Structure 1
Amino acid sequence: MQRKDTRRRRGAEDDVESVLDELYATPPPDFVSRREELAVTARTAGRADDARRIHAARRPTRAAWAANLLLRSQPEESAQFLELGRALRQAHRTLDADGLKELSAQRRRIVAALSRQAAGLARDAGHPLSDAAQREVESTLRAVLADPDAADRWAGGRLETALTPPSAFPSDTATPSPGPRARPSRPAAPPPARSTRKDELAERRRKRREELARAEEAAEAAARRLRDRHAEHADADAALRRAREVHEQARQRVSDAERQLRQAQQDLERAERERRAAEERDRAATDALAGAEREAREAARHVDRLAARNK
């Protein structure tokens, strides 16, 4: 029995989580009415706790909604973007100034491309973003790359407001700040030989370059995937437009055929009425002719009788 109760509770939790996911993908103008509708449904089903959770949800800003929509509409690209953020944060801790500058350029390109995609999704949903809202989407995406807490919040898909990136990550000219030095508990060792320091410096630079190369490869791969998705979306839009045109042409042909069929049916009914009237007139004319023939024969016989009397 306890196992069944546990499964029932987990099922209810899954239900309310799905409801909240749906709610935060709802356009902001429809959010409140949809929230109240879902809360009433949960309350009617006897799930008072779920109803309170749903009712406590706060309407997202237009930019936060677009960021949520991007996450849910492009799950694969979003997962790769989150992974890219982890790689960039790791690279930021080890790269020099030149490496950070190049890394920042890569970051700006990816963020700009994804923010345009979010704006396109919002426009397709019938709620286009203002310039200010699109800048807030870009700010949110920069925060996701820079801050693991922001990344976790975006990954939850329920942002209520736009996120702000930390000011220290990463400017175009920033250099990694060294961490605090621990106070030595014993006298410092003598400095290494010059050749050893050069080898260590070269090794660190090599590792930094490798990390930068991996981050650049990940960014370029994400950009390629984004371009591919844009191309697929454009092809799908074109196919949809063509299908709508063909559907409209077929609907028009069906409408014309139905109109012609109705006209032909009316013509047939009118011809049927005219045929019946013509048959009625023909029968009447036939009867009249027969009567006239009888009268003519009677008149001829009468004339013959009168002529015979006068002879």
Structure 2
Amino acid sequence: MRRTGGHGGGPADVEEMLDELYGLPPSAFVPRREELAAAARSAGRADDARRLRAARRPPLAAWAANLLRRSRPEEAERFLELGRALREAYTGLDAASMKELSAQRRRLVTQLTRQAAGLARDAGHPLSDAVQRDVETTLHAVLADAEAADRWATGRLEKALTPPSEFPAGAGGTAPPARSAPGEAQRPARRTPERASRKKDELAERRRERQQRLERARAEAEATEERLGGRRTERAEAEEALRAARDRERAAGEDVARAERDLARAEEHLRSAREELARAEEIREEAEGRDRSASDALEQAERAAAEAAREVRRLSPRAR
């Protein structure tokens, strides 16, 4: 959705600023618009400031439609192409073909509406049923009306869109009636065999062209529905992976809590063991002191006993 041009095509380009604005959620639109307009005015770009101030904040439905356009550019382009094919095919379709094509279109619009609602919910702005209906109506308008398609293609819708009344939106739509020139009903047509044959050939060629356009539109609708089915499968797989990741995170958290509790108990046990070791060391030191004292006393006693024995031998009569 980026554009170049304007004042040098730099990062302050007004088109880029407008793209930024319409990519914001509605609650952030006005504050950012005022900030950007003030910056443009301070830079001497009065025209850009006026364009920015003229930008209208989109309601939630228009914002969700813009979000769908910006977040799914490839699907949006295919949707726009389908709208062009439908508008081309509509003019000459018979009632049965129009009924079938309208049913396909309604299913596709419903799927894209759900996708837009999912994107809005993921962005923190869930859509009510009424807002989702406005999104659905806007997408019908994009398919039915070239001007509406061009406005949605910019990603800058300022309001929800409404399809033209002459373009059927339901399964019961029929091809528009053939138009007659003024006065044609009053004048009987005069046809020569050659002219009738040429008209018949032209009618057959138009029918072939319409059938080809119809087949292309149907093929594109089916391909788009298939792609949407793939996106839904991817979303389901992503949700399952998210649930598994959350379960794993929860289990890991429980393991950490248990480990922390075990660590606390181990630290307490370590403190107790260290205190017991300190007490044992004190007892050992006291015992060692007593052992040294007893050893010294024993040594002194042994010396005294030896001295006494010598004295006894000296004084004994035999010694004389």
TM-score, L = length of structure 1? 0.79
Find the counterpart in structure 2 of residue 60 from structure 1.
58
Structure with higher Rg: it is: 2
Aligned residue pairs, count: 300
> Displacement, 1:144?
0.4
Q: Matched residues in 1 for 2:142 and 2:177: separation?
A: 21
Deviation per residue, 1:13-57 (Å, 9 max, x gap): 54x4444334323332343445456667x4699576566655554
Q: Work out the CA distance in 2 between the residues paired with 1:296 and 1:31.
A: 99
Deviation digits for residues 189-241 of structure 1 (CA, Å, limit 9, x no counterpart): 95242444433333332322222222111111111111111111111221222
Give the alignment partner of residue 19 of structure 2, picking from 21, 28, 31: 21
1:141-191 residue CA offsets vs partner (Å, 9 max, x unmatched) = 01101111111111111212110111111353443355674999xxx9952
> How far apart in 2 are the matches of 1:13 and 1:78?
27
The equivalent of 1:11 in structure 2 is 10
Q: Distance in 2 between matches of 1:29 and 1:292?
A: 91
Distance 1:177 1:13, change over 3 A: farther
Tell me the residue number matched to 2:111: 113
Change (3 A) 1:114 1:274: same
Give the 5 Å matches for 1:81-160: 81-160=79-158
Q: What residue is the counterpart of 2:235 in the other structure?
A: 233
- Range moving further from structure 2, 74-83 or 288-297: 288-297
How far has the Cα of 1:122 moved from its partner? 1.7
Give the AA of the match of 1:238.
Answer: E
Mind listing any 5+ residue stretches in structure 1 that lack a counterpart? 1-5
**Alignment partners' CA distance in 2, 1:265 and 1:9:** 67
Q: Deviations over 1:106-161 (max 9, x none)?
A: 22111111111111222222322111111100110011011111111111112121
Identity %: 53
Post-superposition CA distance 1:250-305 (Å, at most 9, x none): 34434443554454345434433432332133212321343355457768988999
CA contact (8 A) 1:99 1:209 kept: no
Query: Aligned partners of 1:236, 1:7: CA distance in 2, in Å?
Result: 41
Q: Which residue identity is paired with 2:59?
A: T
Which residue pairs with 1:3 in the alignment? none
Shift of 1:9: 1.9
Which residue does the alignment assign to 1:70? 68
Whether contact under 8 Å (1:92, 1:170) holds in the other structure is no
Q: Report the equivalent of 1:191.
A: 191
Are 2:102 and 2:173, in contact at CA under 8 Å, matched by a contact in 1?
no
One-letter amino acid of the structure 2 residue matched with residue 62 of structure 1: L
Where structure 2 has 5 or more consecutive residues not aligned to the other structure, the ranges are: 313-320
Residue 216 and residue 260 in structure 1: after superposition, are their counterparts in 2 closer, same or farther (change >3 A)? Answer: same
Aligned ranges 1:234-249 → 2 under 5 Å: 234-249=236-251
SS in 2 for 1:271: helix
Amino acid of the residue matched to residue 233 of structure 2?
A
Q: Could you state the TM-score of these two structures normalised by the residue count of structure 2?
A: 0.77
Is 2:283 the partner of 1:284?
no
Counterparts of 1:238 and 1:104, CA distance in 2:
34
- Superposition deviation, residue 74 in structure 1: 1.1
Q: Which stretches of structure 1, 4 residues or more, deviate above 6 A after TM superposition?
A: 296-306
Q: Distance in 2 between matches of 1:166 and 1:23?
A: 28
